[in-house]
Protein backbone atom coordinates (compact mmCIF):
# COMPACT_ATOMS: atom_id res chain seq x y z
CA UNK A 1 0.00 0.00 0.00
CA UNK A 2 1.38 3.41 -1.04
CA UNK A 3 2.04 6.03 1.56
CA UNK A 4 0.63 9.56 1.45
CA UNK A 5 3.93 11.09 0.30
CA UNK A 6 4.22 8.58 -2.54
CA UNK A 7 0.65 9.34 -3.63
CA UNK A 8 1.33 13.08 -3.54
CA UNK A 9 4.46 12.63 -5.63
CA UNK A 10 2.60 10.45 -8.10
CA UNK A 11 -0.21 12.99 -8.44
CA UNK A 12 2.30 15.81 -8.93
CA UNK A 13 4.08 13.88 -11.68
CA UNK A 14 0.76 13.09 -13.34
CA UNK A 15 -0.41 16.69 -13.24
CA UNK A 16 2.91 17.99 -14.60
CA UNK A 17 2.83 15.34 -17.33
CA UNK A 18 -0.71 16.30 -18.29
CA UNK A 19 0.28 19.99 -18.37
CA UNK A 20 3.21 19.28 -20.66
CA UNK A 21 1.17 17.06 -22.94
CA UNK A 22 -1.63 19.59 -22.96
CA UNK A 23 0.73 22.43 -23.85
CA UNK A 24 2.24 20.43 -26.71
CA UNK A 25 -1.09 19.13 -27.98
CA UNK A 26 -2.09 20.52 -31.38
CA UNK A 27 -5.77 20.41 -30.43
CA UNK A 28 -5.76 23.48 -28.24
CA UNK A 29 -8.99 25.52 -28.02
CA UNK A 30 -8.65 28.78 -29.91
CA UNK A 31 -9.34 32.11 -28.29
CA UNK A 32 -9.99 33.86 -31.62
CA UNK A 33 -13.52 35.29 -31.73
CA UNK A 34 -15.83 33.59 -34.14
CA UNK A 35 -16.86 36.93 -35.63
CA UNK A 36 -13.29 37.58 -36.78
CA UNK A 37 -13.14 34.31 -38.71
CA UNK A 38 -16.29 35.05 -40.63
CA UNK A 39 -16.11 37.67 -43.34
CA UNK A 40 -19.55 39.30 -42.89
CA UNK A 41 -20.45 38.10 -39.40
CA UNK A 42 -19.40 41.36 -37.75
CA UNK A 43 -21.82 43.54 -39.72
CA UNK A 44 -24.10 45.78 -37.72
CA UNK A 45 -26.21 48.79 -38.51
CA UNK A 46 -24.89 52.22 -37.53
CA UNK A 47 -27.84 54.05 -35.94
CA UNK A 48 -25.82 57.24 -35.49
CA UNK A 49 -25.39 57.58 -39.26
CA UNK A 50 -29.06 56.90 -39.96
CA UNK A 51 -30.11 59.47 -37.36
CA UNK A 52 -27.67 62.06 -38.73
CA UNK A 53 -28.35 64.59 -41.47
CA UNK A 54 -26.54 62.69 -44.21
CA UNK A 55 -28.22 59.42 -43.30
CA UNK A 56 -31.71 60.95 -43.30
CA UNK A 57 -31.02 62.63 -46.64
CA UNK A 58 -29.82 59.34 -48.12
CA UNK A 59 -33.00 57.56 -47.00
CA UNK A 60 -35.14 60.37 -48.42
CA UNK A 61 -33.26 60.23 -51.73
CA UNK A 62 -33.79 56.49 -52.09
CA UNK A 63 -37.51 56.80 -51.32
CA UNK A 64 -38.10 59.76 -53.65
CA UNK A 65 -36.11 58.20 -56.51
CA UNK A 66 -38.05 54.95 -56.10
CA UNK A 67 -41.42 56.72 -56.09
CA UNK A 68 -40.46 58.77 -59.14
CA UNK A 69 -39.38 55.60 -60.95
CA UNK A 70 -42.65 53.84 -60.06
CA UNK A 71 -44.68 56.81 -61.29
CA UNK A 72 -42.89 56.90 -64.63
CA UNK A 73 -43.27 53.14 -65.04
CA UNK A 74 -47.07 53.37 -64.77
CA UNK A 75 -47.28 55.47 -67.97
CA UNK A 76 -48.48 53.23 -70.78
CA UNK A 77 -48.47 55.68 -73.72
CA UNK A 78 -46.13 58.49 -74.68
CA UNK A 79 -45.42 60.62 -77.73
CA UNK A 80 -42.67 61.75 -77.83
CA UNK A 81 -41.05 59.30 -75.40
CA UNK A 82 -37.51 60.68 -75.14
CA UNK A 83 -38.24 62.70 -72.00
CA UNK A 84 -39.93 59.74 -70.35
CA UNK A 85 -37.05 57.39 -71.14
CA UNK A 86 -34.50 59.89 -69.87
CA UNK A 87 -36.41 60.43 -66.61
CA UNK A 88 -36.74 56.66 -66.20
CA UNK A 89 -32.99 56.18 -66.60
CA UNK A 90 -32.11 58.99 -64.18
CA UNK A 91 -34.52 57.87 -61.46
CA UNK A 92 -33.49 54.21 -61.71
CA UNK A 93 -29.75 55.02 -61.69
CA UNK A 94 -30.12 57.39 -58.74
CA UNK A 95 -32.10 54.81 -56.79
CA UNK A 96 -29.56 52.02 -57.36
CA UNK A 97 -26.37 54.04 -56.75
CA UNK A 98 -27.72 55.93 -53.74
CA UNK A 99 -29.15 52.72 -52.30
CA UNK A 100 -25.77 51.00 -52.54
CA UNK A 101 -24.06 53.95 -50.84
CA UNK A 102 -26.70 53.96 -48.12
CA UNK A 103 -26.03 50.29 -47.40
CA UNK A 104 -22.26 50.82 -47.37
CA UNK A 105 -22.42 53.81 -45.02
CA UNK A 106 -25.09 52.44 -42.68
CA UNK A 107 -23.23 49.14 -42.22
CA UNK A 108 -19.75 50.77 -42.13
CA UNK A 109 -18.68 48.62 -45.06
CA UNK A 110 -16.86 51.60 -46.57
CA UNK A 111 -14.39 51.42 -43.68
CA UNK A 112 -13.15 48.09 -45.06
CA UNK A 113 -12.15 49.74 -48.36
CA UNK A 114 -9.99 52.70 -47.30
CA UNK A 115 -8.43 52.93 -50.77
CA UNK A 116 -11.54 54.75 -52.04
CA UNK A 117 -12.19 58.37 -51.12
CA UNK A 118 -15.79 57.91 -49.99
CA UNK A 119 -16.38 61.59 -49.25
CA UNK A 120 -15.49 62.46 -52.83
CA UNK A 121 -17.54 59.52 -54.12
CA UNK A 122 -20.61 60.71 -52.24
CA UNK A 123 -20.04 64.26 -53.48
CA UNK A 124 -19.82 63.14 -57.11
CA UNK A 125 -22.95 60.99 -56.80
CA UNK A 126 -25.07 63.69 -55.18
CA UNK A 127 -23.84 66.40 -57.56
CA UNK A 128 -24.55 64.36 -60.69
CA UNK A 129 -27.91 63.19 -59.35
CA UNK A 130 -28.92 66.79 -58.59
CA UNK A 131 -28.01 67.94 -62.10
CA UNK A 132 -29.60 65.05 -64.01
CA UNK A 133 -32.76 64.93 -61.87
CA UNK A 134 -33.24 68.66 -62.46
CA UNK A 135 -32.80 68.34 -66.23
CA UNK A 136 -34.98 65.23 -66.46
CA UNK A 137 -37.76 66.86 -64.45
CA UNK A 138 -37.72 69.96 -66.64
CA UNK A 139 -37.79 67.90 -69.84
CA UNK A 140 -40.61 65.70 -68.55
CA UNK A 141 -42.59 68.74 -67.43
CA UNK A 142 -42.23 70.30 -70.90
CA UNK A 143 -43.19 67.15 -72.81
CA UNK A 144 -45.84 65.58 -70.57
CA UNK A 145 -49.50 65.17 -71.48
CA UNK A 146 -50.89 66.37 -68.13
CA UNK A 147 -51.67 62.86 -66.91
CA UNK A 148 -51.66 62.05 -63.22
CA UNK A 149 -48.65 59.75 -63.41
CA UNK A 150 -46.58 62.27 -65.33
CA UNK A 151 -47.46 65.12 -62.99
CA UNK A 152 -46.60 62.97 -59.97
CA UNK A 153 -43.29 61.95 -61.55
CA UNK A 154 -42.40 65.60 -62.18
CA UNK A 155 -43.27 66.56 -58.60
CA UNK A 156 -41.21 63.78 -57.06
CA UNK A 157 -38.42 64.53 -59.52
CA UNK A 158 -38.15 68.12 -58.30
CA UNK A 159 -38.40 66.96 -54.67
CA UNK A 160 -35.53 64.53 -55.28
CA UNK A 161 -33.57 67.37 -56.92
CA UNK A 162 -33.97 69.53 -53.81
CA UNK A 163 -32.93 66.73 -51.44
CA UNK A 164 -29.89 65.87 -53.57
CA UNK A 165 -28.93 69.56 -53.70
CA UNK A 166 -28.95 69.81 -49.89
CA UNK A 167 -26.89 66.61 -49.68
CA UNK A 168 -24.43 68.04 -52.24
CA UNK A 169 -23.93 71.15 -50.11
CA UNK A 170 -23.23 69.06 -47.00
CA UNK A 171 -21.00 66.69 -48.96
CA UNK A 172 -18.89 69.62 -50.20
CA UNK A 173 -18.38 70.82 -46.64
CA UNK A 174 -17.46 67.33 -45.44
CA UNK A 175 -15.05 66.84 -48.33
CA UNK A 176 -13.33 70.17 -47.58
CA UNK A 177 -12.91 69.19 -43.93
CA UNK A 178 -11.41 65.83 -44.91
CA UNK A 179 -9.00 67.50 -47.35
CA UNK A 180 -7.92 69.99 -44.67
CA UNK A 181 -7.37 67.20 -42.15
CA UNK A 182 -5.36 65.20 -44.68
CA UNK A 183 -3.15 68.18 -45.52
CA UNK A 184 -2.62 68.91 -41.83
CA UNK A 185 -1.62 65.31 -41.11
CA UNK A 186 0.77 65.31 -44.09
CA UNK A 187 2.35 68.55 -42.85
CA UNK A 188 2.80 67.16 -39.33
CA UNK A 189 4.30 63.96 -40.73
CA UNK A 190 6.74 65.93 -42.90
CA UNK A 191 7.80 68.12 -39.97
CA UNK A 192 8.33 65.05 -37.81
CA UNK A 193 10.48 63.38 -40.45
CA UNK A 194 12.55 66.55 -40.92
CA UNK A 195 13.13 66.81 -37.17
CA UNK A 196 14.27 63.19 -37.10
CA UNK A 197 16.81 63.91 -39.85
CA UNK A 198 18.06 67.06 -38.10
CA UNK A 199 18.56 65.12 -34.89
CA UNK A 200 20.75 62.52 -36.63
CA UNK A 201 23.80 64.28 -38.15
CA UNK A 202 25.29 61.01 -39.39
CA UNK A 203 22.47 60.82 -41.94
CA UNK A 204 23.39 64.29 -43.19
CA UNK A 205 27.04 63.31 -43.58
CA UNK A 206 26.06 60.24 -45.56
CA UNK A 207 23.77 62.32 -47.78
CA UNK A 208 26.50 64.87 -48.51
Distance from C-alpha of 66 to C-alpha of 76, rounded to nearest angstrom: 18
What's the confidence (pLDDT) of residue 189?
67
Could you tell me the CA-to-CA distances from 90 to 95, 100, 190 in Å, in that order? Answer: 8, 15, 45
Residue boundaries of the structural domains of the chain: 47-194
CA dihedral 145, 70, 135, 175 (to 10 degrees): 160
What's the confidence (pLDDT) of residue 163?
96
For the chain, the maximum distance between any two Cα atoms, rounded to a whole number of angstroms, is: 109
What's the confidence (pLDDT) of residue 124?
94
What's the confidence (pLDDT) of residue 34?
43
Distance from C-alpha of 150 to C-alpha of 136, rounded to nearest angstrom: 12
Q: What pTM was computed for the model?
A: 0.67
Per-residue pLDDT of the chain (208 residues; tens, 9 = 90+): 444 544 454 444 444 444 444 444 444 545 444 444 444 556 778 888 888 888 999 999 999 999 999 999 998 877 788 889 999 999 999 999 999 999 999 998 888 888 888 888 999 999 999 999 999 999 999 887 778 889 999 999 999 999 999 999 998 988 888 776 766 766 676 666 666 655 555 555 555 5
Amino acid sequence: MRSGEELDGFEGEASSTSMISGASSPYQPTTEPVSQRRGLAGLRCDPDYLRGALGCLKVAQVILALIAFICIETIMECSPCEGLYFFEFVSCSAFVVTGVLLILFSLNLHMRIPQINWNLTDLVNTGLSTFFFFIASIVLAALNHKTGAEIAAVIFGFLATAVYAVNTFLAVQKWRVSVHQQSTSDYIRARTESRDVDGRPEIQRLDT
